[in-house]
Amino acid sequence: MSASVPGDYVIRSIHADEWPAVKELRLRALRDPVAHLAYLETYDDAAARPDSYWQKRAADAAEGASGARQIVAVGPGGRWLGTLTVLVEEAGAPDWAGCPVERRQGHVVGVFVRPEWRGSGLTGALFDAGVQWAWASGLEAVRLIVHPDNGRAQGFYRKAGFAPSGRTVPLAGVPGDHELEYVLER
């Protein structure tokens, strides 16, 4: 998938050999001031992972993979400006938190846009491409989870058409903490 969009960037799926860029952008995301609310791993944990981890991560979500798709916005000079990944969750299987998945759906994770590109429409273009891939893959819905204190993200998700499902997801290792599920129906 590759599509030009308004602005000085192109939205497309990643390729497996682009794992160094996958790693660089993820590490940048984990240094964001709200990373503790947005991601389930720390910068130190991610930075300590071997190259083989990043190679597999890229291959598993690259163009042609069926279980996930990582989409990026590529700007001038080939710089990656933002990304998101849609994971496929199969009905009957447990999700990442161990909860049963009720239907075949997408799960948006790893959303990040470099601060200087926020508010440019780039995040919306990434979401449009991710949702388009989910529908083309036959998924019934797309969901995501967001921390209750991450108001910036919640506002965007509502604007993108996602609605709170009323379901909360407990955070492992953080007693009493949880995230909120938002869903976009097909």
Give the pLDDT of residue 78.
Answer: 94
Which of the four pLDDT bands, split at 50, 70 and 90, describes residue 99?
A: confident
* pLDDT digits 0-9 by tens, 104-147: 999 999 999 999 999 999 999 999 999 999 999 999 999 999 99
Handedness of CA 71, 73, 79, 82 (dihedral sign): negative
Q: 11, 71 in Cβ contact below 8 A?
A: yes
Strand ranges (DSSP E) for 90-158? 105-113, 141-146
112 alpha-carbon distance from chain centroid: 7
pTM: 0.92
pLDDT at 40 > cutoff 80: yes
* pLDDT category of residue 90 using cuts at 50, 70 and 90: very high
- C-alpha 166/C-alpha 181 separation (Å) is 7
pLDDT tens readout for residues 167-180: 998 876 677 788 99
**b/e burial code for range 94-111 (CB count within 10 A of at least 16 → b):** ebeeeeebeebbbbbbbb
pLDDT band at 3 (very low <50, low <70, confident <90, very high): very low
Mean of the per-residue pLDDT values for the chain?
92
Q: What is the pLDDT of residue 181?
A: 94
The full DSSP string for 4-34 is: E-SSS-EEEE--GGGHHHHHHHHHHHTTSTT
Find out whether 126 and 111 touch, Cβ atoms under 8 Å.
Answer: yes
> How confident is the model over 148-167, as pLDDT tens digits?
999 989 999 999 999 999 99
The residue type found at 25 is L
